[in-house]
Amino acid sequence: MAERLHIGVIGCGKIAQVRHIPEYVANPNAKLIGFFDRSAERADEVATRYNALAYGSWQELVADPGIDAVSICVANASHAEIAIGALQAGKHVLLEKPMATTLEDCEAVVAAADAAGKLLMLGHNQRFTKAHKLARDLVTSGAIGRLVTFRTTFGHGGPETWSIDPGSNTWFFNPQLTTMGAIGDLGVHKTDLLHFLTGERVVAVSALLASNDKLDAQGTPIAVDDNAVALYTLSNGAIGTMMASWSFHGAEDNSTVLYGQDGIIEIYTDPDYQVKLIRPGQPVEQFSVEAIQTNDNQTTSGVIDAFVAAVLTGVSSPVSGTEALAAMRAIFACMESSRTGRVVTIDKNKI
Ligand SMILES: NC(=O)c1ccc[n+]([C@@H]2O[C@H](COP(=O)([O-])OP(=O)(O)OC[C@H]3O[C@@H](n4cnc5c(N)ncnc54)[C@H](O)[C@@H]3O)[C@@H](O)[C@H]2O)c1
């Protein structure tokens, strides 16, 4: 292993350009070696900008012995194939969410990391915000007692203005390239976050997914969900809601509220105080830790630094495939519940 981690980036779109690439550049222990994108022009342009190589295929990139690790930032449908190929080629992998578009593929990605003995990390950046870390510490310290109920929400105006290829033709609306809509794009963030904050797992799901806002390039409702509402039961018996939406026009909502037997933790309900601890008979404790990250306010995620540090120091993955798989099980359960109208239980998430 080189002293600095030598990096390849596969998929050079928005998340690569606003998060992965600049955070590797800012990390003294990482060096960008090369790029691949199915748009050769885009890969060339980024490679020139960062004085690095542009490869002709992802297979060529992962076959380069000069690369130790890759970031995979492509459309969802290609996550599993490229992640498995990179792991089999002996690379450490930082894979964007959602992990893959079928449960079988998610399991295959985890198995490939185990077989290769390489580090697999998922890009669940919500775990790394100061507010979420503080909230988790408060939960762990017993500040609100046993968690009873919760609500968590992630909504914005939709990915068609975010993507590097904007417009109603976006891959985010194409079921062949994404499989799941807001539930996989935003719902997986909040599901993983619930696991992170509470230490519990989603074990039963009842959900409604709808396509009732966005139109595709032909002017017909998109074939993936743009709105999703789920009722979750956690492994400790707590029940609550998870909402994922591409229809919050005009303002994002990234909030979570946890209600315990001894008090309440509010996260991102107030732009000035990102965490609040509210307990009966006591003054409200308000914490100002950092501005809320939004699509228009991208701050350093910490994901890339954690990935680089974990590989170089040989510690376990900061967001392992196994942990991400637990969240993906809940996402697939939401899709099944909405399709069948039934409550779906997730035995493998019982702890
Ligand atoms: N963690 C987060 O908060 C977060 C935020 C946004 C996006 N993402 C994820 O990152 C991934 C990329 O999203 P984005 O917002 O950058 O999209 P984007 O549309 O801006 O860019 C996608 C890029 O990938 C390229 N691409 C697509 N499929 C490819 C393939 N099979 N091989 C090579 N290149 C391919 C496209 O040409 C484009 O340059 C998605 O999986 C998305 O869910 C994560």
Q: Does pLDDT of 263 surpass 90? A: yes
The mean pLDDT value for 182-199 works out to 98
The mean pLDDT value for 168-182 works out to 97
Could you tell me if 286 and 339 lie in one domain? yes
Could you tell me if 54 and 189 lie in one domain? no
CA of 267 to the centre of ligand 1 (A): 28
- Structure confidence at residue 197 (pLDDT): 98
CA of 256 to the centre of ligand 1 (A): 26
Q: For CA atoms 19, 21, 25, 29, give the dihedral sign.
A: positive
Q: Which atom of ligand 1 is nearest to the CA of 39?
A: 37
Q: Does pLDDT of 293 surpass 80? A: no
With beta carbons less than 8 A apart as the criterion, state whether 254 and 186 touch.
no
- Structure confidence at residue 2 (pLDDT): 53
Could you tell me if 26 and 66 lie in one domain? yes
Please give the model's pTM, rounded to 2 decimal places: 0.97
Domain that holds residue 71: 5-125+303-317
Q: For CA atoms 296, 297, 299, 301, give the dihedral sign.
A: negative
- Structure confidence at residue 65 (pLDDT): 98
Q: Structural domain tally of the chain?
A: 2
Could you tell me if 70 and 94 lie in one domain? yes
In angstroms, the CA 275 to CA 341 distance is: 36
pLDDT tens by residue, 74-94: 999 999 999 999 999 999 999
pLDDT tens by residue, 302-329: 999 999 999 999 999 999 999 999 999 9
Element at 62 (helix H, strand E): helix 58-63
Mutate to test the pocket of ligand 1, among 55, 57, 74, 101 (most ligand atoms within 8 A of CB): 74
Mutate to test the pocket of ligand 1, among 10, 96, 128 (most ligand atoms within 8 A of CB): 96
Q: Does pLDDT of 4 surpass 80? A: yes
With beta carbons less than 8 A apart as the criterion, state whether 5 and 31 touch.
yes
CA of 13 to the centre of ligand 1 (A): 6
Could you tell me if 77 and 192 lie in one domain? no
Could you tell me if 57 and 78 lie in one domain? yes
The mean pLDDT value for 130-141 works out to 98
CA of 124 to the centre of ligand 1 (A): 14
Instruction: Give the model's confidence band at 351: pLDDT under 50 very low, under 70 low, under 90 confident, else very high.
Output: confident
CA of 75 to the centre of ligand 1 (A): 5
In angstroms, the CA 153 to CA 140 distance is: 22
Mutate to test the pocket of ligand 1, among 37, 101, 298 (most ligand atoms within 8 A of CB): 37
Q: Give the CATH number for residue 37.
A: 3.40.50.720
Largest CA distance in the chain: 64
Could you tell me if 248 and 159 lie in one domain? yes
Could you tell me if 92 and 130 lie in one domain? no
CA of 198 to the centre of ligand 1 (A): 29
CA of 14 to the centre of ligand 1 (A): 7
Could you tell me if 283 and 213 lie in one domain? yes
The mean pLDDT value for 45-70 works out to 98
Q: Give the CATH number for residue 248.
A: 3.30.360.10
Instruction: Give the model's confidence band at 188: pLDDT under 50 very low, under 70 low, under 90 confident, else very high.
Output: very high
Burial of 210 (0-12, 13-18, 19+ CB in 10 A): middle
Could you tell me if 142 and 276 lie in one domain? yes
Could you tell me if 47 and 155 lie in one domain? no
Tell me the residue type at 348: K
Task: Determine if residue 232 is left, alpha or beta; phi over 0 gives left, psi from -120 to 50 gives alpha, anything else beta.
Answer: beta
Mutate to test the pocket of ligand 1, among 73, 79, 224 (most ligand atoms within 8 A of CB): 73
Lining ligand 1 with CB less than 6 A are 11-16, 37-39, 42, 73-76, 78, 96-97, 123, 125, 162-165, 171, 185
pLDDT tens by residue, 91-130: 999 999 999 999 999 999 999 999 999 999 999 999 999 9
Could you tell me if 120 and 139 lie in one domain? no
Q: Where are the alpha helices (DSSP H) in 71-155?
A: 79-88, 103-116, 130-140
Strand pairing category for 120-122 and 263-267: unpaired
- Give the chain's mean pLDDT: 97
Residue 112's nearest CA partner among 135, 129, 95 is 95
